[in-house]
Structure 1
């Protein structure tokens, strides 16, 4: 009998499924609605930044406007070649196709840093807190030390180096549009403090009762995401959930909590989720633009909404809330 590559969701979380069935009999149904409308995110051609003049300024203005109104946008001519994106997808598929035991024991062909492989939600107390997904979450600083597959390591390095430059450029543009030409992001968000996360969302026989990734905001400055054509990413717009239409040539950019705090709520860190698919697996790769843990976060203007805090303090508060409550509180914890 061939060993499965899928994590044992049904076995480990059987009590959650049992409790959900009992709750459903009492009309306690919190499944995902099927009537979520699909929208296209604002599309921005970054090639216009090289044209100078009003084209460049117009492009910068659109980036800032999308970050204020949506908290999400997508970019073309982003500097990451189609070849690198396709290689990244192929290499992560190979990694996830290892057996579950090989992934949890960090097989020699993988050789990720200890603790990189994650699946499910250890802290889940009910089904709506369970993430039907698995991931390799890797600090950029550790990629070069991976002794496993050369192709995987090389591809991860190529992807992360390119998107690091993209994230820094976008952060500087967003700061400039607030009137702050600053070296803050270049000085504090170094490759050694950022992360790469490769995600797989296996087919889910109980979809839409569970999420691939439960609703949340990102605890960084910026996230850069490349997803496949399957879809499943949803976000809140004007108080309702919308589904993001996939575009294989585009990268998706979203504002994180730290940028919302730094911009004093000008740029929005928007709640989003991934919906599990009953029949088809989904892959994505995310880059998280983060500072060092001791970096202090404070508003770039006076009359700040939030008190000054370190990234370490913020992360610790998030982890404590998730452990105690089952979900993240985030920025509201730091309002003055």
Structure 2
């Protein structure tokens, strides 16, 4: 149990009220087990039809029997919390290189620095802070701070597990979509994978503040491990649904690159994060095509992921929002 330290928050997030309500984790879990609407996919008994249906109709599914040790997940979350509870100034100074620190926005430049939109006043920023970990650059990196080096080692191990998990899912989706096996191998780039650890600070104004605004991910797949607090919502059939926190499961969602590759058969799901009157922690793994991998689709002009990322960054800086795949539609 960690004592709340509001000096660890970025200045706009600091509150005078230091009281945080406690939630009974078991009670919360028992209430949602029978109410969870998200499709369930068992990685050990992977059913291609069920997977295809989840990707087409939902763009998101809950993954069980994924083989990632519970001890690794708990250690990773525990270490992330220790780092988040450092002072704001320490985090700004400590995190450089392949492990960077950001707050107030989920969009990052290639260097890992945050991209602030035009409208970046405190009332408009996302109520979130995080660590961005570029997995492909971790191996030669050694931090002088022991706590950060322990975090690096855990992230490396977690990244290796997730790389295998996502490869299995991608091969299954490629088979469902009848993708050319030789071409599909170059689409999924393990070296492009990165992890973000998020903290959504306590906020007393949870009715009009968002941890992350409505968006889609630019990835092929995103794999989320969330704590018991909840707050993630997905848009389905004209309404927002809670993605309940259920132990020993991961949340996988389809990103923009997978939607383009599938000719819009699979959905890049719209989602958002609502802040709570409790802190929420989550860890998300993202995987992309290689920068120069050309995405071929009947719905979109040929483009590379590098083209897409550059356009997203331009739109965020100039418009304050991500336009995404609409920029590449064949009728534009």
In the superposition, the TM-score normalised over structure 2's length comes to 0.83
Q: Which residue of 1 aligns with 2:128?
A: 133
1:129 and 1:267, CA in 2 relative to 1: closer, same or farther beyond 3 A?
farther
Deviation at 1:319, TM superposition (A): 1.1
Q: Which residue of 2 aligns with 1:7?
A: 10
User: 1:40 is matched with which residue: 16, 21, 37?
Assistant: 37
Worse-matched range after superposition: 92-101 or 121-130: 121-130
Deviation at 1:209, TM superposition (A): 1.4
Q: Which residue of 2 aligns with 1:317?
A: 311
Q: Which residue of 2 aligns with 1:265?
A: 264
User: 1:146 is matched with which residue: 132, 142, 148?
Assistant: 142
Q: Deviations over 1:101-130 (max 9, x none)?
A: 010011xxxx55267111014325267742
Q: Which residue of 2 aligns with 1:288?
A: 286
Q: Name structure 1 gaps, 5 residues minimum.
A: 12-37, 50-58
Q: Give RMSD over aligned pairs.
A: 1.9
User: 1:330 is matched with which residue: 319, 324, 328?
Assistant: 324
> Does the Cα contact within 8 Å between 1:235 and 1:273 map onto a contact in 2?
yes
Instruction: Name segments (4+ residues, structure 1) moved above 4 Å.
Output: 126-129
1:234 and 1:260, CA in 2 relative to 1: closer, same or farther beyond 3 A?
same
Q: Which residue of 2 aligns with 1:218?
A: 217
Deviation at 1:185, TM superposition (A): 4.7
Q: Distance in 1 between matches of 2:97 and 2:184?
A: 26
User: 1:79-158, aligned counterparts within 5 Å?
Assistant: 79-106=67-94, 111-113=95-97, 116-121=100-105, 122-123=116-117, 125=119, 129-144=124-139, 145-147=141-143, 148-149=145-146, 150-158=149-157
Q: Which residue of 2 aligns with 1:234?
A: 233
Q: Distance in 2 between matches of 1:128 and 1:74?
A: 33
> Does the Cα contact within 8 Å between 2:13 and 2:201 map onto a contact in 1?
no
Deviation at 1:142, TM superposition (A): 2.1
> Does the Cα contact within 8 Å between 1:76 and 1:251 map onto a contact in 2?
yes
Q: Distance in 2 between matches of 1:116 and 1:177?
A: 37
Deviation at 1:183, TM superposition (A): 4.1
User: 1:70 is matched with which residue: 46, 53, 58?
Assistant: 58
> Does the Cα contact within 8 Å between 2:99 and 2:134 map onto a contact in 1?
no
- Say which SS state the counterpart of residue 215 (structure 1) adopts: strand
Q: Distance in 2 between matches of 1:291 and 1:332?
A: 19
> Does the Cα contact within 8 Å between 1:217 and 1:257 map onto a contact in 2?
yes
> Does the Cα contact within 8 Å between 1:118 and 1:136 map onto a contact in 2?
yes
Q: Distance in 2 between matches of 1:39 and 1:241?
A: 13
In the superposition, the TM-score normalised over structure 1's length comes to 0.82
Q: Distance in 2 between matches of 1:176 and 1:95?
A: 41
1:275 and 1:190, CA in 2 relative to 1: closer, same or farther beyond 3 A?
same
- Say which SS state the counterpart of residue 213 (structure 2) adopts: strand
